[in-house]
Amino acid sequence: MMNTAYFKDQFEGLADDSSADTIKELSKAAFESYNHSGLPSSKLEEWKYTNISSLFDKNYQFSKNNSEEELSYTSLKALNLPGQNEANVLYFIDGRFMPDLSKIRSSEKELVILPLEKAAAGPYQKIVKEHLGSSSKYLKDGLHALNTAFIQEAVFIYLPKGQQLEIPLYLHHVTHATKENILSQPRSLIYLAENSNLQLVETYTTLGSMDSFNNEVIEIVLEEHAFLAYYKLQNDGPNAAQVSSTHIHQIGKSYVQSLTISLNGGVIRNNLNLVLDAPGNETHLYGLSLLKGNSHVDHHTLVDNKQPNCFSNQLYKGIASDTATAIFSGRIIVQPDAQKTNAYQSSKNIILSDQATIDAKPQLEIFADDVKCSHGCTVGQLDEEAMFYLRARGIPLKSAESLLLQAFSSDVLTQIKLEPLRKHVEQLISAHLASS
């Protein structure tokens, strides 16, 4: 694996002047941690379904600092999703936050966007110090450490108290894999102050035919009465691998809805952590993987109930055809203090071919005695009676299949409250089903 020497080289070459001390210390410790553990091997229980280290048999490069010159705002705009033109959009090119290319429509009073280094040195120093890197307590693998080791050109997003942001915020990750295999490592810290409201959308585009690997970490903190709707749309090329870690820390009684739609891509691993750290927190996690070809999507969720009276519900649905693999591994922890926890989890799957794979692995770890927790997994095929009924009315086989799969997906899709995004996803799914 040549990458190890390359990372060392790159780390030593990092400019020492610009970063704030907080970030520098964190990076240094993270690089040591990476050196110690290396990239996660599939021998680790948490990674047994997804062999990440073998992807690094080929060499990935960090991009040289010149690809933004080739990408203008106009060319980026062509990649936008419906509704994105009216939204706040932050572009990340090869993992680096691009303030000059980004488009902020909300006022500074409503939404603060800063390069992380500036936030760490300025008025948000305390928040950055307290919350940046808090995900490392939960994600101890070398890949996560590698992101932290190279925190550079990251973004800090802050919603001031009481700001109910009406227009959504898009994080659009563009990887420029035209000449070499690119490793991008975007990093964001998002803070929702008391009584603020954010609709966050993440989307990914790889340009070029070389391979890309997006090793992403987002940390989000919610104060009392904050509201977050978080949508992630994964519809990239088969050359685009991704490990996307989102760590959400609800430090005040707040509300989170997360929805991940995975349609196309190479190897995808999503780590989604929810730390329910105040009484009365509420969290809803949804996922839909609609996979064909050789796609591989591995969802790992963790809901850590630390305080009493929290509610969480998870609904993950998977459809796998061809040789695709859909994985759901959901872990719920109920700490001793978290009495009256309500935590539910359901994974429902349809397998459409003999060569496709579905793995579902629920884990409950309960250390309190007055809780309601449940989990359930199903893996099945299309309902033959329903298929016959539809066909007996003249609906062709392919359309009948597609109708039933859309129906199967519908309770996840109706949770997308952003109208243009939902319509777009529904169209993608129709097209996806029609072409398979």
Partner 1 sequence: MMLSIKNIHANIEGKAILKGINLDIKAGEVHAIMGPNGSGKSTLAAVLAGREEYEVTEGTISFLDKNLLDLSIEDRARAGLFLAFQYPVEIPGVSTTNFIKAAVNEKRKYNGQEPLDALAFLKVMKEKMAMVEIDQSLLSRSINEGFSGGEKKRNEIFQMAMLEPKLAILDETDSGLDIDALRIVANGINQLRNEHRAILLITHYQRLLDYIQPDYVHVLYNGRIVKSGSKELALELEEKGYDFITDETDLTAKA
Using CB under 8 A, list all residues that contact partner 1.
383, 385-386, 388-397, 399-400, 403-404, 406-408, 410-411
- In whole angstroms, how close is the CB of 424 to partner 1 at the nearest point? 20
According to DSSP, the β-strands at 240-250 and 212-222 are parallel
Q: How far apart are CA 254 and CA 406, in angstroms?
A: 32
Q: What is the DSSP letter of 66?
A: T
In angstroms, what is the minimal distance from the CB of 142 to partner 1? 42
Minimum CB–partner distance for residue 317 and partner 1 (Å): 11
Which residues are CB-neighbours of 145 under 8 A, at least 6 positions away?
Answer: 30, 31, 33, 34, 37, 136
Nearer to partner 1, 17 or 385 (CB): 385
Cβ at position 60, least distance to partner 1 in Å: 41
Of 104 and 395, CB closest to partner 1: 395
Instruction: Using the Cα atoms of residue 121, residue 222, residue 309 and residue 139 in order, give the sign of their dihedral.
Output: negative
Which is closer to partner 1, CB of 85 or CB of 414? 414
The tokens of 245 are what?
A: 């870690």
CA distance 347 to 360: 7
Q: Which is nearer to partner 1, 357 or 410 (CB)?
A: 410
Closest C-alpha among 168, 322, 282 to residue 232: 168
78, two tokens: 């062509």
CA distance 415 to 422: 9
As measured in angstroms, the least distance from the Cβ of 394 to partner 1 is 4
DSSP 330: E
Going by C-alpha positions, the residue among 226, 286, 297, 216 that lies closest to residue 258 is: 286
- CB nearer to partner 1: give 121 or 390: 390
Q: Provide the minimum distance between the beta carbon of 234 and partner 1 in the complex, in angstroms, as a whole number.
A: 23
Strands (DSSP E) contained in 254-371 are: 255-264, 267-276, 282-291, 296-305, 311-320, 325-334, 342-351, 357-366
Contact between 260 and 290 (Cβ < 8 Å): no
334: its two tokens: 């109920």
Look-up of token digits 């295999």: 181
Nearer to partner 1, 370 or 411 (CB): 411
CB of 384 to partner 1, least distance (A): 9
Distance in Å, CB of 404 to partner 1, minimum: 7
Q: Which is nearer to partner 1, 221 or 350 (CB)?
A: 350
Cα end-to-end span (Å), the chain: 36
CA 82 to chain centre: 20
Least Å from the CB of residue 383 to partner 1: 8
* 94 SS3 class: coil
Query: What length does the chain have?
Result: 436
**Residue number, 44 or 386, with CB nearest to partner 1:** 386
Q: Where are the alpha helices (DSSP H) in 253-303?
A: none
Instruction: Supply the minimum distance, in Å, between the C-beta of residue 231 and partner 1.
Output: 21
How many other CB atoms sit within 10 Å of the CB of residue 242?
Answer: 24
| Run of H or E residues at 408 | helix 397-413
How far apart CA 250 and CA 57 sit, in angstroms, is 38
**CB closer to partner 1 out of 313 and 399:** 399
Q: How far is the CB of 290 from partner 1 (least distance, A)?
A: 14
Phi, psi of 77, rounded to the nearest 5 degrees: -60, -30
Nearer to partner 1, 35 or 410 (CB): 410
Looking at the Cβ atoms of 15 and 392, the one nearer to partner 1 is 392
